Structures are given as structure tokens and as C-alpha cells.
Amino acid sequence: MTAITEPITVPPTPERRPGTWRRGRVIAVFAVLTAVLMLAHRLVPNWAVNAGSLLETVLPWLGLLVVALLVAAAVRRSALALVALLLPALVWGFTFGGRLLDRRAAGGDFTIVSHNVNDENPDPAGTARALAASGAQVIALEELKKSEIPKYEDALAAGYPHHSVQGTVGVWSTFPLHDTRPVEIMPWTRALRTTVDTPRGPVAVFVAHLPSVRVRLDAGFTANGRDAAIGRLADELAAAPAPRTVLVGDFNGTTDDRGLDPITARLRPAQDEAGDGFGFTWPASLPLARIDQIFVGGVRPVAAWTLPATGSDHLPVAASLAL
């Protein structure tokens, strides 16, 4: 009689999952690349599509990429990725953390407001009254529509007896103005220079509206026209230097963008020195970038801030300055 033997069943070997220090290597690589991008953004070339300037326009928002990678690392339960993410987090904090602090102080000898009022503003008079309510001694306006200029003039006449409009930019002041003239940065007038006679002495004030930029599939970041105008504006600053200079306007660029280097090499951004947060100004409904600037030289910014939205697609910017 033949014995019947049952087959021996070998239990399957359990699948070994990578440990927490081996999982998430792709996330860790992206974390390191993000840190390198923030540290070495100036090495991203601008030839062809102005990729460097485009990256620098959104540079603070790379912090969101760090957050997304952090979520992915937590889902993967990767210790390796979490440790790697310390690098971009530290780089972001070192680069931008100071901007989150409130550096405003009381005082100052006069306040200046700058606003791209939008040539399609449905309420020019209301916008002017809102700016005057800030208590600023000097108000600079950009993108003025010729047919709407009388509305701004009428609304500001009582509080700002001194004013000048040159092309699409204008300045209103409680202090006397002199030597006002257009500044040629484009074929048509979008910039001016004037001297404001404050009780503490004269201050040269420039108002400028730089050409717009776009992101297009066929041309990339279209900043070449803006950069050329910035160069001409910087030449004007160099040709007619003043002990005290304030440059305000819509620059269609952030101070991180290398395109503004000809300006930032001479003047300091008031927001970075005396602001509260990033001071984003555009678009007004959900500000994502600070493209409206107040630059200073020979004066000390005491406080810088944005004003509430008006009928424009930009937020107004303001700064109190000590002379």
C-alpha cells in the first residue's frame, strides 16, 4: 500500500517595505533642488525667454512648493525627505522671513502715496478722495486717462494746491513744486521728475509707469521693453543726482527681479526696510506680487504699507519718510 503524503506549503515571504530613511528619495531630491533654485536663482539665464526674471518675480512663492513637499513627505512617512526639507525651509526663512516682520515705526517728516489708478477706473473721484484720506502730503498717480484727469484734479484741489500732470503720470502736493518736467523712458510720456519743497528742504521726486509684462507661450516673459525703460530711468537718476531722492510708481516688476537692478543699485525699497509683510499690490482682488514700489535715497523710510483697494486693479502704496 502506497503512503499518501500531503504537499508541504511554504508560507510566502512577507514583502519588505523600505525603511523611513530609504523612502521618499525623489521628494528629498526635489527639496534639495528647490533650495538650490532659491539660492542660485541669479544663475538662471535670462536669454531667450527671460526665465530668470520670471522665476524671480514669483520667488517668494517657492515656499508653497516646500509646503507641498512637506505634505508628500508626511504621506510617505519619509524621515529622509523630512530632513532634506529642512534645507529649503531654512533658505526661505533666511531670504524672506524678515519681510514677515512688522518694521514700521511712528514719525516721519512727510508721507507719500503712489497709485496706478487704472485708466478704466469706474470712480476716479472716489479713488482720489480715498488717497487724500490717507493724510499723505504727496500723491503720485500713474495710468491717468486724459479725459479723467479733471476728475482727479477737482477731487484733490482743496487739499493739494500744487500739482502737475505729465502725460499719463501726475503728482499732487501740499508743498510747493518746482522744476517739474517729463522724463523720457518711452516714446510717450510715462514718467516725470519734480522737486518738492518740504519744510525740511527739497526732495527730488520721480514718478514712473514702466511698460507692462506678459507671460506668453511664444515669447516667454515679455520684459525686454520694461528693462529698456528701466535703463533709461536709471540713466536719468545718474545724470541729475539729488541728495534726497524718492522714486515711486508701477514698475511691473518686483525688487527680487534682476530687471530692476539698475534702480536697486542706487535706491532702497521702502517696503523692504520699513514695511509689514510682503506688501503685495497686484492684482488688487488677490495680491500676488509687489510691482508698485517706493524707492528712496538720502532719506530714511520710517514706515511703508499698502492702502485699501480702490476702483483700480492695483493697491496703493504709501511710505512715511524721515528727512
Domains in the chain (CATH in brackets) are: 25-100 (no CATH), 110-322 (3.60.10.10)
Put simply, whether the predicted model's pTM sits higher than 0.85 gets the answer yes
- The residues facing 245 across adjacent strands are 204, 297
pLDDT at 20: 72
- In the DSSP assignment, the letter for residue 243 is S
Q: How far is CA 162 from CA 113, 121, 135, 138, 241, in A?
A: 15, 23, 15, 10, 23
**Beta-strand pair 201-209/191-198:** antiparallel
How does pLDDT run along the chain (323 residues), one tens digit per residue? 455 555 666 565 555 556 777 789 999 999 999 999 999 999 999 998 999 999 999 999 999 999 999 999 999 999 999 999 999 999 999 999 999 999 999 999 999 999 999 999 999 999 999 999 999 999 999 999 999 999 999 999 999 999 999 999 999 999 999 999 999 999 999 999 999 999 999 999 999 999 999 999 889 999 999 999 999 999 999 998 999 999 999 999 999 999 999 999 999 999 999 999 999 999 999 999 999 999 999 999 999 999 999 999 999 999 999 99
Residue type, 240: A
Grid coordinates belonging to 161: 494746491
Grid coordinates belonging to 101: 516682520
pLDDT at 5: 58
Sheet holding 169-173, edge to edge: 162-166, 169-173, 138-142, 110-116, 317-322, 300-306
Beta-carbon contacts of 302 under 8 Å, excluding residues fewer than 6 positions away, are 104, 105, 106, 107, 108, 274, 319, 320, 321, 322
**CA 23, CA 161: separation in Å to the nearest integer?**
69
**CA 170, CA 166: separation in Å to the nearest integer?**
6
Asked whether the CA dihedral 230, 234, 240, 242 is positive or negative, the reply is positive
Residue type, 129: R
**CA 275, CA 281: separation in Å to the nearest integer?**
13
- In DSSP notation, 43-93 reads GS--TTT-HHHHHHHTGGGHHHHHHHHHHHHHHHT-HHHHHHTHHHHHHHH
pLDDT at 12: 59
Asked whether the CA dihedral 127, 117, 142, 292 is positive or negative, the reply is positive
**CA 122, CA 211: separation in Å to the nearest integer?**
22
